[in-house]
Chains A and B, each alone.
Chain A
Amino acid sequence: MCGIIGVIDRSRQRMDGTGIRSALSRMDERGSGEGAGYAAYGAFPDYKEYYALHVFFDNPHETKPLVEDELSKWGTVEYQEAIPTFEQANIRKLHIPWRFFFKPDIHLMPRSITPADDIVTHLVMKINSSIPGALVYSSGKDLAVFKASGWPEEVADFYRIQDYKGYLWLGHNRYPTNTPGWWGGAHPFNLLHWSVVHNGEITSYGTNRRYIESYGYRCSMFTDTEVVAYLFDLLIRRHGLTIETAVKALAPPFWDEIDRMPNREQEIMRAIRLTYGPALMNGPFAIVVANHDSMVGFTDRIKLRPLVSGESGARLYISSEEAAIRTLDPGVGDITMPRAGEPIIGRAQ
């Protein structure tokens, strides 16, 4: 079932992780204690310019040199550390989480218009598909993903997310059916600047995966959610679509609705569906996706999963449940429910 939540402060005021921890815990009923996670944007002001590569090592002695070797082929590591963790009764530390602040050498990817991003994408795909025992699970600048197998409050305390600050947070409480207990299977999923939390199941995964793989992405997490991060990266970063258009491609109106639209809109929607048919996400889902400048939440085309949003001052909240939003901020006014497939977008200034 899974519970999701996201908050963005549009004035980029940073919040520590205390609030999102209690909000996500409010939705414990939606999880099973086998996976939870958070993402914080704005987490590393001192290393803003570096890609913060977060890696789960099964055995750092064995695999860390291999990862360092890959990184050294494409750039330099400014600083690295074992991510601080704090023992929790119910969390078995299966992996050693590690953090590299990495700067790609853009001259090594001369034909690209976004060479740094392309290098990091390549590295993530390469490491995750070819170095067993190493998994890059967060790769953007100035952002951190915290995830493990456990209840939301345990995972939060394991990383002490209250010690981190961000102007945008995502949280996810997992009820796994596939790969339970595997840390890599917990959300948020991240690639570069994109992080995704997802409730539901994507029945079109096989189509979406083959589509995205034909653009060089490699799905390595054994779950449907990662394709969402890659689809956003492809549609928005590489194809230059706006968030609104990208969401229209992923959860488009039905043909009978398109047929009733005014001509110009109809022409645009038809083009989107023809072009991005293989990107259409089917099945029940509610998703919140974030990058450095925005957060967007939307559901499947026939609204098979819950999603609501509320605002309070500069802050926009999106969650599976109103109770979680009110736990995070009792000052929230009206709660609204987006229409199926219609995005709620919060943009930071």
Chain B
Amino acid sequence: MSIGSVPLRYRISVDRDQCMLCGRCVDSCPYGVFRKEGEQIHVNSRVCVACHRCISMCPRDAISLVERPVDYRSHPIWTPQVREAIYNQARTGKIILSGMGNAQDYPVIFDRLVLDACQVTNPSIDPLREPMELRTYLGKKPSHLNFKTVEGDTVLQTILSPNLMLETPIMIGHMSYGAISLNAQQSLARAVTECGTFMGTGEGGLHESLYPFQDHMIVQVASGRFGVDINYLERGAAIEIKIGQGAKPGIGGHLPGEKVCADVSCTRMIPEGSDAISPAPHHDIYSIEDLKQLVRSLKEATEWKKPVFVKIAAVHNSAAIAAGIARSSADAVVIDGFRGGTGAAPRVFRDHVGIPIEAAVASVDAKLRSQGIRNEVSIIASGGIRESADVAKVIALGADAVYIGTAALVAMGCRVCGTCYKGLCPWGIATQRPDLVARLDPDYASVNVANLIHAWTLELSELMGAAGINSIESLRGNRDRLRGYLLDENIMKVLDIKTVGA
């Protein structure tokens, strides 16, 4: 006997009194929810993904969406999600793929951390009128400096490694051309250039149209080596080796052939229509000393002019791994927490593998300090940075800068529907279908993303000023300015913070 259909996830309804039959909903929805027949809009709610495109385009606010209109018998363990996953796998016998970040109901550590402010014993600094420095340099720093005096002049003997200079510690993480559209990448590129910060190319090569922004782009070298040649390496402001990703630690990636259109094919340097498969490991890195070889080969190729970052997923042993990376000649370690987003990941990985960024950054920073090598690498935190407070908190836990991903997409309209893997993103972000891509206008989207970075930067300045700090390096690792609110003793020990009231 058949399992039968599962209940609707969303019910769309159209208020007939309001509807003026303009048909914008029909045009908006690439999933085919709406069709116009005669003087009526008909709805097929079953294919709806809750992307809200129709709702945002409806001039009359006539469309309503209800999530889970049909109840299951409630049960604390056998949730609707669990049951539906079983129906799906019973039907197909396959691994379930999902999009966006971790959807499991884990407590969010950020939301159990509170920041400090000055009262009396020191003045809060008003960032409106006094200098507030968010400038951040990413890369290796010397442990100390040597000077020589030549004819009365002080001469610096120490040679500094190349660093990236950021005007704000907020960067945009790696989302490849292929995973997202070229218009989306162009919007992000214009925004980071405007804001004096950087973005990652992802493992999708660097499209020609982005060359004007290359000084603000970090090119990625991942296990598939797509789009990687010396031209690509030389164009990037920095190079990032991607070992793993917070949304799916320990596994590789897969861009389906349908998404490899002519332009993607050319940027990735693979045939049109073929799958782009990134292996789980780099097959030239089976141990930490091999990582050093790759770091050094990239540096050698680019004449030691560019910082090389290494990105790992936040896993149990991140601290020790990061200590190994710090010894590899790498200039920064990117730690991607288990809330990090993705176009597509196996649901079981997305929801169950890896650790939160808060704990990972705290332990990596502490480990590097205990070994006296914190200066060897910068720490970039990513995966689940949702607002400026998260930026302030993760920097206070020890990060130098953050990558945002989902937040930048949301700034371009993304509604976090989590169906990026379908390639039909109605917002023109996670799609290559030309008509959908055309919906995203870089002239506007770039302003939205720049606005977001700018607003967070302002909020971060205010938070620092309130804490009596006028330079970001004095917030970095300043865990004394954090308190845990209803966090357990063990977590607070890992974070090296006190409880509220202490």
Contact = CB atoms under 8 A, between A and B. Distances in A.
A binds B: yes
Interface of A: 177, 200-201, 203-207, 209-211, 213-215, 239-242, 245, 254-256, 264, 267-268, 270-275, 277-278, 280-284, 301-302, 304
B154 interface: yes
Interface stretch (B280-288, B413-421, B472-480): B472-480
Contact of A274 (B137, B154, B370, B468): B137
A143 B142 CA distance: 34
Contacts of B94: none
B478 A268 contact: no
A203 B145 contact: no
Contacts of B122: 200-201, 203, 283-284, 304
Contacts of B131: 254, 256, 302
B145 A282 contact: no
Nearest to A207: B478
Rank and list the top 9 A-B pairs by shortest CB-CB distance, nearest first. Answer: A206-B480, A204-B474, A277-B473, A282-B474, A206-B478, A203-B468, A214-B369, A239-B144, A201-B122
A214 B156 CA distance: 25
Given A256-B131, A271-B160, A275-B375, A280 B144 contact: no
A213 B467 contact: no
B477 A213 contact: no
B163 interface: yes
Given A204-B469, A207-B478, A280-B473, A215 B372 contact: yes
A241 B125 CA distance: 30
Given A214-B372, A282-B471, 14 more contacts: A203-B122, A204-B473, A205-B480, A206-B480, A207-B474, A207-B475, A242-B147, A254-B131, A268-B154, A271-B156, A278-B477, A283-B474, A302-B131, A304-B123
B35 interface: no
A185 B374 CA distance: 30
20 contacts: A203-B122, A205-B480, A206-B480, A207-B473, A210-B479, A211-B369, A211-B477, A214-B370, A241-B144, A271-B158, A271-B160, A272-B145, A274-B141, A277-B473, A278-B473, A280-B471, A282-B470, A282-B471, A284-B122, A301-B470
Interface of B: 118, 121-123, 125, 130-131, 133, 135, 137, 141-147, 153-154, 156, 158, 160, 163, 369-370, 372, 374-375, 396, 467-471, 473-481
A268 B156 contact: yes
A200 B474 CA distance: 16
B130 A302 contact: yes
Contacts of B153: 264
Contacts of B163: 274
Q: Chain B contact residues: over half helix, strand or loop, or mixed?
A: loop
B145 A275 contact: yes
A203 B474 contact: yes
A214 B130 contact: no
Given A201-B121, A239-B145, A210 B477 contact: yes
A205 B163 CA distance: 26
Nearest to A175: B121
Given A177-B121, A213-B369, A206 B479 contact: yes
Nearest to B159: A271
B377 to A, nearest CB: 13
Nearest to B132: A254
A277 B374 contact: no
For A177, A200, A207, A281, the residue with the greatest tally of chain B CB atoms inside 10 Å of its CB is A207
Contacts of B143: 275
A282 B464 CA distance: 11
Nearest to B481: A206
Given A203-B118, A203-B467, A284-B468, A271 B474 contact: no
Contacts of B469: 203-204, 282-283
A256 B160 CA distance: 20
Nearest to A300: B470
A223 to B, nearest CB: 12
A321 B295 CA distance: 56
A264 B137 CA distance: 19
Interface-centre pick from B125, B133, B375, B471 (highest chain A CB count, 10 A)? B471
A301 to B, nearest CB: 7
